[in-house]
Structure 1
Amino acid sequence: MVFLLVALGIDNVGSGLFLPMTIVYATRVVGLPLAAAGVTVTVGTLVGLLVPPLAGRLVDRVGPRPVVIASQVLQACGALGFVGAGGAGGLALTVCLLAAGQQLFYSSLFALLSDVVGDRPKDRPFAVVAMVRSACFGLGGLLAAWLLSVGALRVAPLVNVVSFVVCAVILAVFVRAPHAVVEADRGGRVSGQFLRLVLLTGLVAVGLDFFLVGIPVFVLGLGAPSWLPGVILALNTVVTSTCGTLAVRLTQRFARTTALAVAAVFLVAWCGLCLAATAVPLGWRPAWLLGSALVVAVSGVLFGSRVNALAVALAPAATRGRHLAAFQYAFTVAGVLAPAVVALFDLGVWAPWVVVALCASVGAFGLQAFGRGLPDEVVRPSTVPAR
């Protein structure tokens, strides 16, 4: 497990360094207009959505470790392509490679973690992985800020290439993940029950992704200091990188679905607090918004520490790869929808908050109802048997 954590940490330092800088790199180094860069990156990301079904079948056939290693190699090729990209065509190809590698990675990562952890409950180990990845992504973001400040943006994709290659080598040489192939029927379709979980997860994930892309727009629109969005995002990173195992411990008596529903309720509360911020005196708004950020951070750490463990427990052993790959669509689609929710600020400052609160409310009630129909060994970690 230690080598796996090291590999994932290195991967996330590189990702935190370069992924947020993709459009900046495309405009400042490649020389594309902002609109062209945005469209190119978006199209590449959408192409990546074709990967999870293939990834899931590969995981079920050969095991997750080779697939995760392949994802690192594919992402390294994509990142390397940025170095020589000279126009929209070259950039589109490299973005497609990078996006395909990312989807391959996320579609196989939790199957690999499940194999490494073995038959014991996955909640705490998954929380540890999430904490390490969050901390290292934040470190990568700090390195990106430093590279920008010294005018060394061209170095960013090269560092990302190195991080992917080193991660792949560690996984190939040091990580052992026994994988038993279980015979499944030829169809191997994702069950309707599991698709319900994907939908409910996506409803909550939209709000959490909206926080990442929407809070800077909202905060600056309220006339708050320009430093506040960065501090809010840094506060969120600190909470998610330090409190995952604490969240698991505090909610260990809850059913997994109940813990997720509580996370959704915190998200609704955050929406109310942010909407109320419009009535708070200007001098008090920074403190109010920072306090509100703690609420959404609690929501994120509660949700992130339990949701993947629930998905693994619910996925049938014979088609676990396909089910977990399908599960990633909850987060991928949420990431695509979040900017559209941010655009609702054009209708009024209230509009995005109402949409996010409604989605989270439906998610909270839906998860509670969904949990009542699941076996104890799926929703309660202490009763998970060997699978």
Structure 2
Amino acid sequence: MVALSVDNFGSGLFLPLSLVYATQVVGLPVAQAGVAMTVGTMAGLVVPAVSAAIVDRVGARAVVVAGQLVQLAGSVTYLLAHGVVLVAVGAAMRSAGLQLFYSSMFTLITEVAGDRSTDRTFTVVGAVRGAAFGIGALAVGALLTGLGPTAYTLAIGIDATTYVVAAVLLLCWLPTPAPRRAAMDAATREVRPRASRVLRDPPYLGLIVVTTLFALDTDFFLVGFPVYAFDILHTPAWVPGAALALLTALGSAAATLALRMTRRLSRTTAMVFAAVIVVGWCLAGAAALVLPAGVRPAYLLGCTLLLVAANLVRAGRVNALAESAAPPEAKGRYLAAFQYAFTIAGVLAPAVVALFAVAAWLPWMVIAAGAVLGIPLLHWITRHLHTGCAEPRPA
């Protein structure tokens, strides 16, 4: 938990500034920066497939650490960037490392959790990591206020350091139990001839697609909200950091409470409710364009509460549903393949942000359309998943 928190603190420093760094420090136009990051991020598309082939063989911890080290190399590349090429290379390395990390992190959490409720486990881990992310975002806000543009470079440097610290903590403090590793090796030998079985599982593929649509809102918020606030609405520099801190602070503090309050909802029903809230968030976000400049900061923070509510309702449930729907003998492979949902969302988010160059309201409508489209697809998935999969496990 400590290692994952350190990792997420660094991500809180970097992710909100990734696109802004390319425009404000490297000097790229918004559209060019968005395309460069999209092209670079597409390199991560092959990683979950590679991770799926090795995570059950070498163990989740080794793959998580490898992902952190690749992200370290990507951050260093960003620091060296002076044009579009190195921005794309840095985005590619960070994307590849991030996908390695997430393709194996859920398996690692499942191993450590054992027989405990996955809904609660994923919710608690998400809350702690979210709190660390929010602290990083607050630190960025303080750095921007005190140091100005220099803060962008400093934030990325600190982010690079956190990957080293997190990797060392995982290697030194979290040994993989030998019996579990042997069991994983045996399971890998059993399912190796059917490594492509995920492709022959339409409900699970549908879950990946709908999760992509639902994950796009958060990725858009992380990379697009600073652009929207700075370049379009011309808000004060502290607004994006404060909004992100609000999102992560409330999401962390109220996560387990929200899970208890919505415990009677099935996983899929909670996800539908969250999608409806996201549509409201998008409409409210686009409405900021017609408001006076003086009220925009407070209004944007208020809009962020809608995204907070959506995240609280679905917190932990998406990952728990993916874990529950995966066959036990191929869980590592399935969860690695499930990472494609977040990989594709990460690829699409910069492209959606680039649509600000077309019309300031257009990205908001794209995100809302994705949430609406995901609702009927989720209903279809619910009918085809195995019995009880959509229901939460007792805590």
State the TM-score, normalizing by the size of structure 2. Answer: 0.82
SS of equivalent to 2:13? helix
One-letter amino acid of the counterpart of residue 193, structure 2: R
CA distance in structure 1 between the aligned counterparts of 2:203 and 2:100, rounded to whole angstroms:
24
CA distance in structure 2 between the aligned counterparts of 1:312 and 1:205, rounded to whole angstroms:
17
**The 10-residue stretch of structure 1 (262-271 or 78-87) with the greater mean CA deviation from structure 2:** 78-87
Among 199, 203, 208, the residue aligned to 1:193: 203
Quote the offset at 1:163 in angstroms.
1.6
- Equivalent residue for 1:369? 380
CA distance in structure 1 between the aligned counterparts of 2:33 and 2:225, rounded to whole angstroms:
23
One-letter amino acid of the counterpart of residue 14, structure 1: G
Do residues 112 (structure 1) and 111 (structure 2) align? Answer: no
Is the CA contact 2:17–2:223 (under 8 Å) kept in the aligned structure 1? Answer: no
- Equivalent residue for 2:218? 208
Deviations 1:300-341 (A, max 9, x none): 232232111111111122222222222222222223323443
Is the CA contact 2:13–2:140 (under 8 Å) kept in the aligned structure 1? Answer: yes
Cα distance, 1:168–1:212 mapped onto 2, change above 3 Å = closer
CA distance in structure 1 between the aligned counterparts of 2:73 and 2:347, rounded to whole angstroms:
24
Quote the offset at 1:184 in angstroms.
0.9
Cα distance, 1:373–1:8 mapped onto 2, change above 3 Å = same
Deviations 1:258-304 (A, max 9, x none): 11111111112323444566677877666554433212211123223
SS of equivalent to 1:379? coil
Do residues 68 (structure 1) and 64 (structure 2) align? Answer: yes
Q: Identity of counterpart residues, as a percentage?
A: 45
Question: For structure 2, which runs of at least 5 residues remain unmatched after alignment?
Answer: none
Cα distance, 1:261–1:40 mapped onto 2, change above 3 Å = closer
Is the CA contact 1:224–1:286 (under 8 Å) kept in the aligned structure 2? Answer: no
CA distance in structure 2 between the aligned counterparts of 1:244 and 1:60, rounded to whole angstroms:
30
Is the CA contact 1:377–1:383 (under 8 Å) kept in the aligned structure 2? Answer: no
**The 10-residue stretch of structure 1 (268-277 or 252-261) with the greater mean CA deviation from structure 2:** 268-277
Do residues 140 (structure 1) and 150 (structure 2) align? Answer: no
Among 268, 275, 280, the residue aligned to 1:269: 280
Do residues 184 (structure 1) and 191 (structure 2) align? Answer: yes
Do residues 50 (structure 1) and 67 (structure 2) align? Answer: no
Quote the offset at 1:59 in angstroms.
0.7
Quote the offset at 1:60 in angstroms.
1.9
Among 298, 301, 309, the residue aligned to 2:309: 298
Is the CA contact 1:106–1:328 (under 8 Å) kept in the aligned structure 2? Answer: yes
Do residues 378 (structure 1) and 368 (structure 2) align? Answer: no
Is the CA contact 1:52–1:103 (under 8 Å) kept in the aligned structure 2? Answer: yes
Cα distance, 1:88–1:275 mapped onto 2, change above 3 Å = closer
- Equivalent residue for 1:164? 163
**The 10-residue stretch of structure 1 (333-342 or 87-96) with the greater mean CA deviation from structure 2:** 87-96
**The 10-residue stretch of structure 1 (301-310 or 106-115) with the greater mean CA deviation from structure 2:** 301-310
Is the CA contact 2:140–2:241 (under 8 Å) kept in the aligned structure 1? Answer: no
CA distance in structure 1 between the aligned counterparts of 2:334 and 2:323, rounded to whole angstroms:
8
One-letter amino acid of the counterpart of residue 362, structure 1: L
Is the CA contact 1:261–1:365 (under 8 Å) kept in the aligned structure 2? Answer: no
Is the CA contact 1:376–1:383 (under 8 Å) kept in the aligned structure 2? Answer: no
Deviations 1:64-90 (A, max 9, x none): 111112222322333345566677666
Quote the offset at 1:32 in angstroms.
6.5
SS of equivalent to 1:264? helix
Among 345, 369, 380, the residue aligned to 1:358: 369
Quote the offset at 1:348 in angstroms.
5.3
CA distance in structure 1 between the aligned counterparts of 2:350 and 2:291, rounded to whole angstroms:
26
Among 235, 248, 258, the residue aligned to 2:269: 258
- Equivalent residue for 1:335? 346
Cα distance, 1:82–1:202 mapped onto 2, change above 3 Å = closer
Cα distance, 1:380–1:342 mapped onto 2, change above 3 Å = same
One-letter amino acid of the counterpart of residue 131, structure 1: A
Is the CA contact 1:15–1:137 (under 8 Å) kept in the aligned structure 2? Answer: yes
**The 10-residue stretch of structure 1 (100-109 or 344-353) with the greater mean CA deviation from structure 2:** 344-353
One-letter amino acid of the counterpart of residue 6, structure 1: V
